[in-house]
Amino acid sequence: PALLREAVEGQEMATFDRAHFKGYGTSSLEFETVYYVKSGDYGVYMDVQQAINVFLFERFAEQDIPFAYPTQLLKLDQPDEWMTVARPEERRAANG
């Protein structure tokens, strides 16, 4: 949460309220941050949100903190046989 506070407080048009570790996602740790944007203009809100996200992305990179990407394992009942997937144009030709 300290990094989230820093990200928000670095924005002139934002006021930090609070940040919490919300829970565990399927492939993530979830944090919730509350801040107020000092404008009713949606464009200003979007600019502030993007600046906060870019700040966090850059800080993760600086500290060599990797992002997790979900992966899946596919097991075939008959692993020695090849599966063939036809390209769309091949399917159209086969179907006439």
Q: Quote the pLDDT of residue 19.
A: 98
Number of domains composing the chain: 1
pTM: 0.69
Whether 81 contacts 41, CB under 8 Å: no
Q: How far is CA 31 from the centre of its chain?
A: 12
Whether 48 contacts 37, CB under 8 Å: yes
pLDDT tens for 21-54 read 999 988 889 999 999 999 999 999 999 999 999 9
Inform me whether the pLDDT recorded for 86 exceeds 70. Answer: no
Host domain of residue 15: 1-96
Q: Quote the pLDDT of residue 72.
A: 79
